[in-house]
Structure 1
């Protein structure tokens, strides 16, 4: 069979195996990534067995070919997409709050781990190594891999802050590791190596800075283009697929900068300020697309790692196994020592760090495909000694397997022992309140079903065994939940704005202003009131008022003035509706009368602020009230019409072809009404 067909066979079979494995692992404590790696190693170990069946031989050939893929090809196929998906799914506001901690771990923490690991290698291993070779190996095995870490955390971690910290560190220190590896590899291949710390630092800053600039420039340009589109899911999703590969390639091969940093920058801008630039209807499809792609790529890469480990490494002598055990234990101790040494800093910046979370941070330092790909690059570099290359590959592969199997499979146990497998007490109380509300609704529905004449033969004792009820035994533990309660209200308000945006009831600018105000309110101790950042966004630019009658620029000034009035009206109206929604929601989440009273007082202030702003708008800008309200009403009605068409299509009353034509007509009206509203 041709090479391309063999690779296609591998991709298809690997995905099918992953699907079956995921099905088997449902309701088990075995991490999917650990099982995939083990499966890949088992398949790789079985490739040496001879058989006369043509189909089996073709399967064997496809897996052998996959295990021999070039390391750079592995990185360029999988890394951009997986890094983008991971960064794109981060909660950007939380990432920004924790960025100082993530940066400390990913840069100085990573560098210190590299230096100490290199010293350990020079001390323990009987190799005639240069400093450059030792530093190169230290960079390879010190970086936590985003693919392995993210795959593990998504399976078992429900703590957003801890997940963001570990995931953010793995994303950034992966970029740091690749930069350091490139620098130290060139140093290791020099006949007479010259090590200048200042040159390394300057080169590191250059590589990272250019990576950030490339990611930012591509994000800004692409978002301007995406903003000009109107609900074109194919183009918008296709761009998010192509651009991570583009910035990775441009950074790595044209500017010799950090491709990972570029991809992370692109993804964070898309997930943060760029989120409102995507069409509201597209965002749900976009996240589903990337979630599916992440599953496919994770399945392939973990099976590939298992194949590479089992097919490229023979049975090493006993001494190498002893060295592997020492290095594995050494990197665990080194990572633990570095994190504990940085604890005085980490505990005082960002959102702080507890001892329990630091243990998870230490134990969650998995190595994965990136480390193995870097080791494979070393293994194919003929400028290095063959014995050195073989030992680097063996030790790296062993560390990858051990961290994924040992650390990965025991992570759930570690988190349980530390009490981190459950929500914090305050969140547990809020969650219990929600469960209590659900339980009451279930009891109500059960009584209705009992009176249904077509359900008279129901075995209610059997049904009740599968229904969790917290209605009668529910008791509230007396703990301070005020902060968590206010945080939950603010998060609910933020989600309200995103829901309104998705329905087309809030514009991009209004959504951005209102969500930004919520995220600022969530910083530190959450406060429902005041919303000072909104007032800043509501200021009318003086130049747009003064230049209204000027020739040439007068039209632009009037358009800017009108747009700002539209933003003020829309965001004030959205704020008013959100405050009404929160007033209805607050009692159902409250755990104490005093708590509810304080929250409602603050919500009432928000409500009054929004109503006052709307009243002032009518009084101070009567010439714009009709235009602004007419456009808003038209947009709401057109969105309602589109939603109705979609509902009727779902119910089978309209064919999909006819529905597409009707929706195209509605969206054309939307686009035209937006243009007409801006004409002066």
Structure 2
């Protein structure tokens, strides 16, 4: 069978196996990634069996071919997409707050681990490895793998800050690891290697900085193009799929920089300031697309790693197994030393770090496909001794398998012992209020169902046993200081309100950016609903607008710019007013104590009054613009309403999908034209 068809068969069968495995693992404590790795190893071990059937022969050929894929091909196919999806799903505001901690772990932390691992390797293998070889091996096995770590955390971690810290470290430390690996591989292949510390530092700075620049430039240029589109989901989603590969290839092959850093930069800009550049209607489809692609690629890569480990290593001597056990234990100890050594700094920067979370940080340092791909690159380098290459591949693969199986499978137990498998008590009590609201709604619906003539035979005791008992068990616990958590929840609800308004087309790009950014400023440190200095600073009209309006060349530009600023002020003030009204309506239902509610209501009313004053001020100071601005906003709201109603009628079967698409195209053309006229 043709090679392409064999690879297609591998892809299809792996996804089918993954679907079956995921279904079997539901309601179990076994991580999906661990099970996939073991499945891949099992399949690899069965490839030696001989059966005289055409189907088995073709399946065997497909998986054998996949196990022989080039290491660079593995990295270039899977890594860009998986890194992009992970970074794109991060909460950018939280990532920025924790960047100092993430950078400390990803750069000095990895360097410490590399040096200690190299020293351990020379001690365990004193007569076989040179210093450059040991340093190269240290760089390979010290980087926590974004694919393995992210896959594990998404299955079991409900702590956003802890997940962001571990995930952020695994995303960024590959830049450090790959540049160190490249340098030490070059030294290891030289007859008389020369080590220059200054060159190492310069090369690292060059690789990272160029990677950031490439990712940022591509993000800015592509967002400029995306902002010119209007609800074209095919183009917008296709761009997010293609561009991670573009920046990865450009960085790695053209500029010899860090492709991972470029992809992370691109994704963070898209998820942060670039989010409002995408069409509001596309964002939900975009996240669904990347969530599905992540599942497919994770399934393939973990099965592939298992295949490579079981088919390429073969039987090795007892000494290598002994070396593996010693080095694996040493790697765990070395990561502990690095995290504990950096703990005094980690606890004082970013958002801090507790003892319990540091233990999870240590235990969550899984190695995966990136380490194995680097080891495979070494294994194919004929400048090195064949026994050395095989030994590095064996040790790396062993550490990858052991960290995923031992650390990965026990992570749930570790988190449970540390009390990190549940939400903090303050969040639990806030969640209890939400559950109470759900219970109240269920009781109302239950009462209406009891009098439904078509539901006379319902076994209500059986139904109540599964539904009514939804009230939270944390109601009667000792009193906890939940003021901070309560204010944070209100601010997060307000932020989500803005995003919902934006997704419905009821709030513009610039207004959404101002309002969301103001919320994120308020969330920094101790959360506070009032004041909103960020909004005030962005509502001030530049003084040059009035001075330049009378100039012949610049007057039209100044008037156009001034009009845009007035639209932004009016629209964001209106959004702020509606959001404050919404927060006033939900604040009582989330409050745990009267004092909390009183303080939140007082601050929210100040926000409300601030928004009303801005709207009144706009009408008084710019009466000549009121009609134009309000007419534009009213038209946009009505056109969005028209589009939504057409979609609802199509969903209900009142009109065909084809007719609905034509009507929606007409509405969106009007929306696009009104947007161009008011730019």
**TM range, normalised to the smaller chain?**
over 0.9
Instruction: Spell out, residue by residue over 1:354-407, the C-alpha distance to the aligned partner (whole angstroms, 9 max, x if none).
Output: 000000000000000000000000000000111110000000000000000000
Q: Which structure 2 residues correspond to residues 391-430 of structure 1 after superposition, within 5 A?
A: 391-430=391-430
In the alignment, which residue of structure 2 is the partner of 1:310? Answer: 310
In the alignment, which residue of structure 2 is the partner of 1:94? Answer: 94
How far off is 1:476 after superposition? Answer: 5.3
Instruction: Spell out, residue by residue over 1:108-161, the C-alpha distance to the aligned partner (whole angstroms, 9 max, x if none).
Output: 000010000000000112443221111100000000000000000000000000
Alpha-carbon distance between aligned partners in 1 of 2:375 and 2:38, rounded to the nearest angstrom:
20
Do the aligned partners of 1:476 and 1:591 also contact (CA within 8 Å) in 2?
Answer: no
In the alignment, which residue of structure 2 is the partner of 1:551? Answer: 552
Alpha-carbon distance between aligned partners in 1 of 2:576 and 2:123, rounded to the nearest angstrom:
64
Do the aligned partners of 1:440 and 1:471 also contact (CA within 8 Å) in 2?
Answer: no
Alpha-carbon distance between aligned partners in 1 of 2:467 and 2:643, rounded to the nearest angstrom:
38
In the alignment, which residue of structure 2 is the partner of 1:526? Answer: 527
In the alignment, which residue of structure 2 is the partner of 1:364? Answer: 364
In the alignment, which residue of structure 2 is the partner of 1:277? Answer: 277
In the alignment, which residue of structure 2 is the partner of 1:516? Answer: 517
In the alignment, which residue of structure 2 is the partner of 1:250? Answer: 250
In the alignment, which residue of structure 2 is the partner of 1:66? Answer: 66
How far off is 1:542 after superposition? Answer: 2.1
Instruction: Spell out, residue by residue over 1:539-575, the C-alpha distance to the aligned partner (whole angstroms, 9 max, x if none).
Output: 2122222211222322111110000000000000000
- Structure 1 unaligned segments of length 5 or more: list them: none
Higher alpha-carbon deviation: 425-434 or 435-444: 435-444
Do the aligned partners of 2:115 and 2:135 also contact (CA within 8 Å) in 1?
Answer: yes
Alpha-carbon distance between aligned partners in 1 of 2:554 and 2:440, rounded to the nearest angstrom:
62
How far off is 1:229 after superposition? Answer: 0.7
2:107 alignment partner, SS class: helix
In the alignment, which residue of structure 2 is the partner of 1:588? Answer: 589
How far off is 1:610 after superposition? Answer: 0.2
Compared with structure 1, are the counterparts of its residues 162 and 142 closer, same or farther at alpha carbon in structure 2 (3 Å cutoff)?
same
In the alignment, which residue of structure 1 is the partner of 2:608? Answer: 607
In the alignment, which residue of structure 2 is the partner of 1:631? Answer: 632
2:281 alignment partner, SS class: helix
Do the aligned partners of 2:432 and 2:471 also contact (CA within 8 Å) in 1?
Answer: no
2:678 alignment partner, SS class: helix
How far off is 1:477 after superposition? Answer: 3.4
Instruction: Spell out, residue by residue over 1:276-302, the C-alpha distance to the aligned partner (whole angstroms, 9 max, x if none).
Output: 000000000000000000000000000
In the alignment, which residue of structure 1 is the partner of 2:570? Answer: 569
Normalization by structure 1: what TM-score? 0.99
Alpha-carbon distance between aligned partners in 2 of 1:289 and 1:541, rounded to the nearest angstrom:
42
2:469 alignment partner, SS class: coil
In the alignment, which residue of structure 2 is the partner of 1:161? Answer: 161
Alpha-carbon distance between aligned partners in 1 of 2:340 and 2:471, rounded to the nearest angstrom:
44
Alpha-carbon distance between aligned partners in 2 of 1:515 and 1:333, rounded to the nearest angstrom:
42
Do the aligned partners of 2:9 and 2:59 also contact (CA within 8 Å) in 1?
Answer: yes
1:466 alignment partner, SS class: helix
How far off is 1:442 after superposition? Answer: 1.4
Q: What RMSD in Å do the two structures reach over aligned CA positions?
A: 1.0
In the alignment, which residue of structure 1 is the partner of 2:108? Answer: 108
Alpha-carbon distance between aligned partners in 1 of 2:655 and 2:183, rounded to the nearest angstrom:
62
In the alignment, which residue of structure 2 is the partner of 1:670? Answer: 671
Alpha-carbon distance between aligned partners in 2 of 1:649 and 1:114, rounded to the nearest angstrom:
59
How far off is 1:468 after superposition? Answer: 4.8
Do the aligned partners of 2:40 and 2:306 also contact (CA within 8 Å) in 1?
Answer: yes
Instruction: Spell out, residue by residue over 1:392-446, the C-alpha distance to the aligned partner (whole angstroms, 9 max, x if none).
Output: 0000000000000000000000000000000001001101111122112212221
Alpha-carbon distance between aligned partners in 2 of 1:358 and 1:471, rounded to the nearest angstrom:
33
In the alignment, which residue of structure 1 is the partner of 2:78? Answer: 78
How far off is 1:675 after superposition? Answer: 2.0
Alpha-carbon distance between aligned partners in 2 of 1:470 and 1:479, rounded to the nearest angstrom:
22
How far off is 1:676 after superposition? Answer: 2.2
Compared with structure 1, are the counterparts of its residues 472 and 198 closer, same or farther at alpha carbon in structure 2 (3 Å cutoff)?
closer
Do the aligned partners of 1:627 and 1:677 also contact (CA within 8 Å) in 2?
Answer: no
Alpha-carbon distance between aligned partners in 2 of 1:603 and 1:191, rounded to the nearest angstrom:
71
How far off is 1:466 after superposition? Answer: 1.6
In the alignment, which residue of structure 2 is the partner of 1:347? Answer: 347
Alpha-carbon distance between aligned partners in 1 of 2:250 and 2:593, rounded to the nearest angstrom:
56
Instruction: Spell out, residue by residue over 1:158-180, the C-alpha distance to the aligned partner (whole angstroms, 9 max, x if none).
Output: 00000000000000012211111
1:281 alignment partner, SS class: coil
Do the aligned partners of 2:39 and 2:303 also contact (CA within 8 Å) in 1?
Answer: yes
In the alignment, which residue of structure 2 is the partner of 1:500? Answer: 501
How far off is 1:475 after superposition? Answer: 2.8
Do the aligned partners of 2:18 and 2:299 also contact (CA within 8 Å) in 1?
Answer: yes
Alpha-carbon distance between aligned partners in 1 of 2:565 and 2:170, rounded to the nearest angstrom:
41
How far off is 1:470 after superposition? Answer: 4.3
Compared with structure 1, are the counterparts of its residues 476 and 605 closer, same or farther at alpha carbon in structure 2 (3 Å cutoff)?
farther
Instruction: Spell out, residue by residue over 1:168-215, the C-alpha distance to the aligned partner (whole angstroms, 9 max, x if none).
Output: 000001221111111111111111000011110001000100000000
Higher alpha-carbon deviation: 313-322 or 402-411: 313-322
Q: Which structure 2 residues correspond to residues 220-239 of structure 1 after superposition, within 5 A?
A: 220-239=220-239
Alpha-carbon distance between aligned partners in 2 of 1:500 and 1:107, rounded to the nearest angstrom:
40
Alpha-carbon distance between aligned partners in 2 of 1:216 and 1:108, rounded to the nearest angstrom:
24
